[in-house]
Structure 1
Amino acid sequence: MSRLTNRTVFITGGSRGIGRAIALACAREGANVVIAAKSDTPHPKLPGTIHSVAEEVREAGGQALPLVLDVRDDAMVKARIDEAAEHFGGLDMLVNNAGAIRLQGVEKLKPSRYDLMHQVNARAVFTCSQAALPWLKQSEQAHILSLSPPLNLAPKWFAQYGPYTTTKYAMTMLTLGMAEEFRSHGIAVNALWPKTLIATAAIEFEVGGPQMMAQGRKPEIMADAALSILCRGDHSLTGQALIDEDLLRQDGITDFEHYRYGDGSKPLLPDLFLD
């Protein structure tokens, strides 16, 4: 039996990038995968919709449920999580992957963009986790996993893009709090962050373009690390801000070259918030 057979995983922002990679990794382990994102129809620049990923999930061996979700809408969040749990007969894992980024400081950033980052990053961890909690309490393998960094208070991580930093750190602080709050319910709560830049649309269109992507790794390294966390049957691993490569090394993996996005001619770039 595969490690996630009969387990249901709800992934926000699951139609592209890291979310899609996690969905497919879980599918290969036999999971029921809920792909929840706004991308109901094809985007002119970005590949993938909830429906195309659902088909990939089925081809990989999992059951799929594509759901249109805007994580800023509280009522929709609760309705979609309840719908998913009722469809599959429960909910075991929530992956808070949806994210928004704009690397600007306070002087230049529009308040509306800060609101967006706060709502999609920090606030969505709160609302999605709260909505999932009644179902997670009923699971024997309950996990909440948020894609957010370790708390590094070095001033350089605030100097140029403090607004984004505060929304990502808030995700991790909520993670630490929920790990203790939900411990008595047997729910593990962790954060996961990449050691190096990950080649995604956010990097291509918001940060550094195709040239920077060539210095990153494929989303599959984050998916494999997420799978390592989600497949653990006990709840001893909780309240941690984990790094993908470090976690995989603990699992005995030593060769990471196949995760490279580029041809290896350029050095890998460390991700934000890591010294």
Structure 2
Amino acid sequence: MSLANKTLFITGASRGIGREIALRAARDGANLVIAAKSAEPHPKLPGTIHSVADEVRAAGGQALALQLDVRDETAVAAAMARAAEHFGGIDALVNNAGAIKLAGVERLEPKRFDLMLQINTRAVMVCSQAALPYLKQSDSGHILSLSPPLNMDSKWFAQHGPYTVTKYGMSMLTLGMHEEFKRYRISVNALWPRTLIATAAIEFELGGRDAFKRARTPAIMADAAHAILASSGRRISGRLLIDEEILREQGQSDFEQYRFDPHGGPLMTDLFVD
């Protein structure tokens, strides 16, 4: 199972899980399109499209850094065209860009809901639509979105319903595209972590860096994404997967290696996971 010579277009790839997925694919010798808004260093958040592109090349892959706002469908279409021209096609789209604000309807500003809706749900449609002409030409096309299983327990709506709606929208589009793109033999899946992952989203929305003591590293999501993206013939498609689930299917059972802090407390399950 290798991604050698495959071209992956990853949104939100300047840090966190997107960056880790890129580096995992780079070790196979893949071509990575690092698409994100972060072209200049951020005072609080490490990583830019250029620094990750350099890391990809150092890991053995090829890289194209593209500054991109996934809310702009014209820019998305142009970025896909540039990526396909640069690498000779696109084999996989990873919808990793995301926005989060854990607030209920009473306190959430409408403009913040608009942002989450655009970057989460709408961007899956916009990016998938723009990538489709190139994915059709791949012998193993994939769309992978970072979104959760559809857990309808009311507790996942009670405190942050607006965010839940935008993430579940990504998952519902995944199920729809699995059926819609069946005739093109494109695999369409979603992936979500069982536990907290040590990323900026956790640091700023779910308890600060203390939460990292009960989290895993992004490497587990990268390995899980690799297992999905390296599969062929729609062997894996139409599934809303949990990272541990797909890795167990690949025969993996040791997950201690992914702990952020080997001496931390019990791992904390992520949102939407019982």
Indicate whether the TM-score tops 0.5.
yes
Match of 1:186 in 2: 185
Match of 1:222 in 2: 221
Deviation at 1:4, TM superposition (A): 1.5
- State the one-letter code of the partner of 1:52: S
Correspondence list, 1:32-51, <5 A:
32-51=31-50
Match of 2:155 in 1: 156
Correspondence list, 1:23-38, <5 A:
23-38=22-37
Structure 1 Cα separation of the partners of residues 32 and 188 of structure 2 = 19
Match of 1:65 in 2: 64
- State the one-letter code of the partner of 2:66: L
Deviations 1:67-122 (A, max 9, x none): 00000011000000110011000000000000000000000000010000000000
Moved more, 55-64 or 244-253: 244-253
Match of 1:242 in 2: 241
Q: Structure 1 length as normaliser, TM-score? A: 0.98
Deviations 1:145-195 (A, max 9, x none): 000000000000000000000000000000000000000101000000000
Match of 1:166 in 2: 165
State the SS of the aligned residue for 1:35.
strand
Match of 1:87 in 2: 86
Moved more, 245-254 or 110-119: 245-254
- The runs of 5 or more residues in structure 2 that have no matched partner are none
Match of 1:134 in 2: 133
Structure 1 Cα separation of the partners of residues 154 and 267 of structure 2 = 23
Structure 1 Cα separation of the partners of residues 167 and 263 of structure 2 = 29
Structure 1 Cα separation of the partners of residues 268 and 27 of structure 2 = 29
Match of 1:176 in 2: 175
Deviation at 1:236, TM superposition (A): 2.2
Deviations 1:209-263 (A, max 9, x none): 0111211100000000000000012212111000001111111111111100113
Length, aligned pairs only: 274
- The runs of 5 or more residues in structure 1 that have no matched partner are none
Structure 2 Cα separation of the partners of residues 220 and 248 of structure 1 = 12
- State the one-letter code of the partner of 1:251: Q
Stretches of 4+ moved more than 3 A in 1?
none
Deviations 1:28-84 (A, max 9, x none): 111100000000010001111000000000011000000000000110000001100
* Structure 1 residue 145 corresponds to structure 2 residue 144: yes
Match of 1:116 in 2: 115
Structure 2 Cα separation of the partners of residues 98 and 267 of structure 1 = 28
Deviation at 1:198, TM superposition (A): 0.4
Q: Structure 2 length as normaliser, TM-score? A: 0.99
RMSD of the alignment, in Å?
0.8
State the SS of the aligned residue for 1:95.
strand
Structure 2 Cα separation of the partners of residues 54 and 167 of structure 1 = 29
Structure 1 Cα separation of the partners of residues 264 and 188 of structure 2 = 37
Structure 2 Cα separation of the partners of residues 179 and 265 of structure 1 = 39
- State the one-letter code of the partner of 1:178: M
Q: Percent identity?
A: 66
